[in-house]
Every structure is written in structure tokens, then in C-alpha cells.
Structure 1
Amino acid sequence: MTSYSLKHAGRAAACACLASSLATLAAPASAALGDIVAVRTPTSVASAASGTNTTQTLLGGAVQVTQSVDAGGTRLREYTATASGKVFAYTWQGPSAPNLDTLLGRYADDYQRGTVALHVSGRDGLHAARVDTPSVIVESGGLMRSYVGRAWLPGALPAGMTEGDLR
């Protein structure tokens, strides 16, 4: 039987703490819909696998799109209005559905009420749904290990941007 000293236990605990801290740093940074975020400097080359976000601009710099990959391997795209810093949309595609409560933030309750209304009316689909409320629109669908969707604030789309631009 092998015995370990408190010194070994302390080292193991320190390593576990360090690993946890590094995992947190590698996690994609994101804000909820409607939150104000700092506008990021665009990067031309970055690796999602290394936990690095890639950022590009659209509409002549009026919109910034930051792409990241969450812990489940799903690619998230965060759309931010450059002038206000407000996150107005998210899109996702990947093997797992993102945590919509986290992405939707203060709009999560509106979304939940919308899903209940769809279910009660019998308009909820087996593999796809569109929840359309005055404050937030969420489209989601897919099959196992292949989820896609988007969520946006219809009143916050910058001039010149349509829901079709959210891919």
C-alpha cells in the first residue's frame, strides 16, 4: 500500500486548482444578449481549438462578429454593434446546444414564455422551432450532435443588417 504525505496532497490540490483556472481562461468569453461589451480588436488568424476568439467586422465596421467554441464543441458567433457595444445576436452550430439561459440573459424568461405558447398552440416542431416575441427571436433546430440556431433582438439590429445576415 502506498501512502502519501500532506506535501503530496497539497501539490495535487495546487495542480487541480491551476488546471481549473487555466480551463476557465481558455473558455470563450461571452456576454448575454443586450449586454454592453468592450469592442475587440479584430484578429485575422486565431485557433478556436486553442480557446482563442476570432473577430471580424461587417457593414464597414458597424458590426463586430466574435467567433468562439464552447466546452461542448459548438461554434458560437456573437454579434455586437460597434457604436454602442451592445450584443444584439448570437448564432450557433455544433454537436451540442448552447446554454440558452446564459446566452439570452434577461430575455430568457420571454423565450421560455414563447416556447410554452408554441407548445400550447401545437406549433412546436420536433426538430425545429421559432420563438418570436417582441423583445427576442430565437430559432433553433437540428438532430442529435448537429444543432443550429440563432437568437437576436429585433429592435437592436444595426441599420443595414437583416436577420438573413445572421449566419
Structure 2
Amino acid sequence: MTTCSLKQAGRAAALACLASALAAAAMPAWAALGDIAPSRTPVSTGGNAGATHYLIGSTVRVTQAVDAGGTLVREYVATASGEVFAYTWQGPSAPDLYTLLGHYADDYQRGALALHIAGRDGLHAARVDTPGVIVESGGLMRSYVGRAWLPGALPAGVTEGDLR
């Protein structure tokens, strides 16, 4: 059995706290749907250590990172306007949808409630389709997938099938 002093335990706790703070700082700050995304430097030129950036053609910049729950989140930004028009996710926990959806969160909540009242919300999957935002989510415990996008903000040549 290994023992340690309170001094050693305090150092270990401080180190663990520091490591988690640094990991959180490496995560990009997500903008909400419809907001202008912060400008990010591509990884190939020494960008954010916690995120990967790539382009889909010349119209879409995608930033992906793993959130605190271990879920891979992708942010889709129209390069011409800088507007976030979609998010996708896949991982062991659902992301904070209210942060990602921003002012579209109330539309999503009303749409989800309407599905529930109508008995059309699935046990493992749902699609909330409102005029402003579409949110698809589903999965089983520890395996969540989904996407949310603004149908009116998709750049020319981009379809919902491109959001993976």
C-alpha cells in the first residue's frame, strides 16, 4: 500500500487542477448559431492546440475539438460572413445545446415540447424542425450523435448532407 503526506496530496491536487485548467483553456470558445465565430488560425500555422481546423471548399471553415465530456464537436462557419451556421457532435455525452444554439435555444425547446406532446419524440432519436433551426439528436447511453443548423444560412453549394 502506498501512502502520501498531506503535502504530497496537496501538490498532486494542485497539479491536477492546473492540468484541467490548461486543457479547458486549449478548447476553443464556441460561438452560438447565427453569431460571428472568433477568428482562428489554422493548425498548420500553429493554431489552437486543442482544435483542428479545415476548409470545405472555399465557403466553409470547420473547427473541431473535444469538449469537457469527451464529445467531438464540429463548428461550421461560412468563410464569407464569419457566421456559425451549424454544429455536429459525436461522443459519450451530449454537448451543451443551449450554449451552441444561443438565441435559437427557445425555438428548439418549443419544438421539442410540441413533439413530446404529440407523442412523436423518439426514445433514441428526435428531429426538431422549426423555421429558424433544425436539430437532430440521438444515440444510446455513452454514444450520442447529432447536428444543428440554420437552414436559411447554409452557404451556396452546401447541403445538410455535408454536415457530418
TM-score range relative to shorter protein: 0.7 to 0.9
Q: 1:159 to 1:24 in 2, by over 3 A?
A: same
Render the CA deviation track for 1:34-84: whole Å, top value 9, x for unaligned: 1102332322499xxx9521100012x210000100011100000000111
* Cα drift, residue 107 of structure 1: 0.4
For the residues of structure 2 that align with 1:64 and 1:54, how far apart are their CA atoms?
10
For the residues of structure 2 that align with 1:13 and 1:145, how far apart are their CA atoms?
28
- For structure 2, list consecutive stretches of 5 or more residues without a partner in the other structure: none
Contact 2:147/2:163 (8 A) holds in 1? yes
Corresponding residue number in structure 2 for 1:57:
55
For the residues of structure 2 that align with 1:131 and 1:27, how far apart are their CA atoms?
28
Matched-pair identity in %: 73
* 2:93 paired with 1:96: yes
For the residues of structure 2 that align with 1:3 and 1:33, how far apart are their CA atoms?
47
Q: 1:93 to 1:45 in 2, by over 3 A?
A: farther
For the residues of structure 2 that align with 1:3 and 1:128, how far apart are their CA atoms?
48
Alignment of 1:20-99 (within 5 A): 21-44=21-44, 52-59=50-57, 61-99=58-96
- For structure 1, list consecutive stretches of 5 or more residues without a partner in the other structure: none
Q: 1:27 to 1:52 in 2, by over 3 A?
A: closer
Runs of 4+ off more than 2 Å: 11-24, 26-29, 38-46
Return the letter of the residue paired with 2:125.
A
Corresponding residue number in structure 2 for 1:141:
138
* Cα drift, residue 12 of structure 1: 9.7
CA RMSD of aligned residues (A): 2.6
Aligned length: 157
Contact 1:44/1:54 (8 A) holds in 2? no
- The SS at the match of 1:55 is strand
Contact 2:43/2:49 (8 A) holds in 1? no
